[in-house]
């Protein structure tokens, strides 16, 4: 068996690699697609989980970042910038370090999960917290490119979407065909657009016989696409999707329309219930935003017997604060067998 060589090598025939001279990879991709027996039983369908939290920096953002940093480096860039709810900055910082490039990240102060902030700092990025939300950070990152010779690696950079479509390829490669439904959290709406591009590309090439319905889920407090208008003060515990004005709004709607899918909202309580369910019943610890894909299935139901893939976009370890605050605090006892036995009775 040949070892996995990273997305740009493995899917070279399916990617736009024009201008690439120097591949920057951390051997991202090739994440597990695991069956979810208890969730399947609950929703009376055949549900699979795509564990994107097992990418090198712990989220699907690595798929887009190998492509974006590879292209930026090949074009001679020396510095990249992104606005981020956390995971984009972690991925950008890691791939920039690998490429020997500098990285500037703009994040909303106090609204980035601790693990993601730690990653960006430790990978050596210039981390700047702004007194504003993600949408403002993205606007500032865009504007910065007009003042300094710096490449933006947010998903408005088309190379990001191009790389992220490989998630769809892997799903089809693992299942032998596309699923009936692809369920996915929606924030800036780049990933749902990217998956649709991957599924359609494989389908028109005859690799898969069907196209999935695309089901996107936003957090109720940050659901601009569901509401049909921008949300100026988005709020949700799922910081990765705390976005009020998605950059890929139009392509996301196209994906939903063409696939006869839907974008709907789940509340923070529903999302946290799904988060706990996954950990306790499927032994999968994802981050809160990722659980939106499962919360949506539980809330709205699925046609009986359908084959469903939920994309679990990021690793639960990234957000220890939410994990701990959602659980009972472990008891403290004296270090004696008497106390231990008394406690367990």
Ligand X SMILES: *Cc1c(COP(=O)(O)O)cnc(C)c1O
Residue from the set 17, 72, 189, 323 that interacts with ligand X by CB under 6 A: 189
Query: How far is 318 from 140, CA to CA, in rounded Å?
Result: 25
* Cβ neighbours for 119, distance < 8 A, ≥ 6 positions apart: 57, 58, 89, 90, 93, 94, 318
- Look up residue 341 and give its two tokens: 């036995």
Residue from the set 167, 179, 187, 296 that interacts with ligand X by CB under 6 A: 187
> Number of residues in contact with ligand X, rule: CB under 6 A?
18
153 contributes a contact to ligand X by CB under 6 A = no
Q: Which helix (H) or strand (E) holds 88?
A: helix 87-99
Q: How far is the CB of 210 from ligand X (least distance, A)?
A: 24
Contact 264, 296 (CB under 8 A): yes
* CB of 26 or CB of 46, closer to ligand X: 26
61 contributes a contact to ligand X by CB under 6 A = yes
* Distance, first Cα to last Cα, the chain: 51
313 contributes a contact to ligand X by CB under 6 A = yes
> Is residue 172 exposed (0-12), middle (13-18) or buried (19+ Cβ within 10 Å)?
buried
* CB of 29 or CB of 314, closer to ligand X: 314
Query: How far is 31 from 35, CA to CA, in rounded Å?
Result: 13
316 contributes a contact to ligand X by CB under 6 A = no
Query: How far is 246 from 156, CA to CA, in rounded Å?
Result: 10
Distances (CA, A) of 134 to 57, 179, 247, 269: 20, 32, 11, 22
Site for ligand X in 278-297 (CB under 6 A): 287, 289-290
Candidate ranges 22-30, 173-181, 188-196, 275-283; the one touching ligand X (CB under 6 A)? 188-196
* CB of 71 or CB of 318, closer to ligand X: 318
Query: How far is 71 from 260, CA to CA, in rounded Å?
Result: 34
154 contributes a contact to ligand X by CB under 6 A = no
Site for ligand X in 85-124 (CB under 6 A): 87
Q: How far is the CB of 44 from ligand X (least distance, A)?
A: 26
Q: How far is the CB of 252 from ligand X (least distance, A)?
A: 8
Q: How far is the CB of 55 from ligand X (least distance, A)?
A: 10
The 3-class SS string of 277-344 reads HHHHHHCCCECHHHHHHHHHHHHHCCCCCCEEEEEECEEHHHCHHHHHHCCCCCCCCCCCHHHHHHHH
Q: How far is the CB of 13 from ligand X (least distance, A)?
A: 24
55 contributes a contact to ligand X by CB under 6 A = no
Letters for 232-261 (x = contact with ligand X by CB under 6 A, - = none) are --------xx--------------------
Q: How far is the CB of 102 from ligand X (least distance, A)?
A: 22
Sign of CA dihedral 147, 149, 155, 158: positive
Q: How far is the CB of 227 from ligand X (least distance, A)?
A: 16
Residue numbers at the binding site for ligand X (CB under 6 A): 59, 61, 87, 155, 185-191, 240-241, 287, 289-290, 313-314
């Amino acid at each position: 068996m040949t070892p996995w060589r990273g997305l740009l090598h493995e899917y070279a025939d399916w990617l736009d690699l024009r201008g690439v001279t120097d591949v920057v990879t951390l051997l991202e991709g090739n994440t597990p697609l695991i069956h979810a027996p208890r969730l399947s039983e609950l929703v009376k369908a055949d549900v699979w989980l795509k564990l994107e939290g097992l990418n090198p920096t712990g989220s699907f953002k690595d798929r887009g970042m190998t492509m974006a940093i590879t292209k930026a480096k090949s074009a001679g860039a020396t510095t990249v910038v992104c606005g981020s709810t956390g995971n984009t900055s972690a991925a950008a910082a890691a791939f920039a370090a690998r490429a020997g490039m500098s990285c500037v990240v703009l994040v909303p102060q106090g609204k980035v999960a601790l693990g993601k902030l730690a990653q960006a700092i430790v990978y050596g990025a210039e981390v700047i917290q702004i007194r504003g939300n993600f949408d403002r950070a993205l606007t500032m990152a865009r504007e910065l490119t007009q003042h300094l010779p710096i490449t933006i690696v947010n998903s408005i950079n088309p190379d990001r979407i191009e790389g992220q479509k490989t998630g769809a390829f892997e799903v089809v490669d693992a299942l032998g065909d596309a699923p009936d439904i692809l369920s996915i959290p929606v924030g800036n709406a780049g990933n749902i657009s990217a998956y649709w591009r991957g599924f359609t590309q494989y389908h028109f090439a005859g690799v898969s016989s069907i196209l999935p319905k695309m089901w996107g889920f936003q957090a109720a407090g940050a659901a601009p696409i569901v509401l049909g208008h921008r949300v100026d003060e988005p709020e949700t515990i799922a910081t990765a999707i705390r976005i009020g004005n998605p950059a890929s709004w139009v392509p996301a709607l196209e994906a939903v329309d063409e696939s006869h899918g839907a974008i709907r909202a789940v509340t923070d309580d529903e999302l946290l219930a799904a988060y706990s369910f996954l950990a306790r019943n499927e032994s999968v610890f994802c981050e809160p935003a990722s659980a939106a894909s499962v919360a949506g299935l539980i809330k709205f139901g699925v046609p009986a017997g359908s084959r469903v893939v939920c994309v679990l976009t990021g690793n639960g370890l990234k957000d220890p604060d939410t994990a701990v605050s959602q659980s009972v605090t472990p008891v403290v006892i004296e270090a004696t067998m008497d106390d231990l036995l008394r406690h367990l009775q």
